[in-house]
Amino acid sequence: MLNHFRTLLLNLDYSGNEEEHIPSKFIPIVLPKKLGNIHAALFPEASSRFHRTILAHNYLNIIDASGFSDEVKAYDPRISYDLTNSDFFKVNIVSNPKVSNLQFPIMIYGQLTHSLARDYFHDVFLIRQKAYSLNISVYSRNKSKYLLGVSEYNLEDDALIPLSFASGSSNLCFVGTTGLRFNIGGSAVSFQETSNKTWEFSAEAPIEVNILDIYNQVAGLVPFKTLKSFKVDLAEYEYIWDNQKNLLYKLSAFLLAYVKVLDSLCLT
């Protein structure tokens, strides 16, 4: 039982993960550029799928708290998700690493520290050996930067980390200021016998959603100017957006209007 409103709001394809509550036959809508900008304000492009489902969970809670849940159910009364699950936001995940040479396993410690930046609750880290040396680099795919201590660099050579080995493993290395640490199994001699080894893993952090930040990003796009261009009757929602001072009501009205436009695109 998968609610149509939530499906349109997320606009994600089916991944096979039933916990995402996305219909197997749903095909994401190709959004025109201006609608795509609105969608990116709600779901930052660097966000993982898990992060996006949590953001959608928040938006549905906002609508529910504002008393508009009946409008969500008007699209489809079937509800398969639980808005009351407070543990939904308290998840730290570190994936199993991809290792290019299994003779040199990586051990990862700690957890990704959450940040108020809405696009940094998820990252993919690539650790790479420099040629045949004992030097490695740590690269953030989300930031497109090399991490070294508190600094971030564009060039790998500026952010090399020297390894030293004792008792079958390397020294402990830090993944920038993320809260993650790692060491690599092996010895100094064997490590230098092969080159350009890589280790890659992803990490998720508990989500903090800054409602004021989301509202400001959406408001900066003058959303109803875009939404009304699709010739859908949004007068009721626009009135709330223009005249209501409570941010939850304003965001609820915007979300209902946005999904109404998406639903109209499904029908064309």
Same domain, 182 and 103: yes
Same domain, 80 and 97: no
Same domain, 258 and 225: yes
Same domain, 127 and 256: no
Ordered per-residue pLDDT tens for the chain, 268 residues: 347 888 999 999 888 877 777 887 888 999 999 999 999 999 987 777 888 888 888 898 899 888 988 888 877 666 555 555 555 445 567 889 999 999 999 999 988 875 544 445 778 999 999 999 999 999 999 889 999 999 999 999 999 999 999 999 999 999 999 889 999 999 999 999 999 999 999 888 766 677 888 899 999 999 999 999 999 999 999 999 999 999 999 999 999 999 999 999 986 5
Bridge partners for 129 per DSSP: 136
Q: What is the pLDDT of residue 117?
A: 47
Q: 123 lies in which domain range?
A: 93-204
Q: How far is CA 90 from CA 63, 87, 106, 114, 144, in A?
A: 22, 5, 25, 11, 27
Q: What is the pLDDT of residue 157?
A: 97
Number of domains forming the structure of the chain: 2
Q: What is the DSSP letter of 129?
A: E
Q: What is the pLDDT of residue 1?
A: 34
Same domain, 158 and 99: yes
Same domain, 97 and 200: yes
Q: What is the pLDDT of residue 26?
A: 85
Other C-beta atoms lying within 10 Å of the C-beta of residue 151: 12
Q: What is the DSSP letter of 156?
A: G
Same domain, 113 and 177: yes
Distance between alpha carbon 11 and the CA centroid of its chain, in Å?
A: 14
Same domain, 196 and 110: yes
Domain boundary, last residue among 176, 204, 232: 204
**Which residue do the tokens 């990252």 mark?**
123
The pTM (predicted TM-score) of the whole model is 0.62
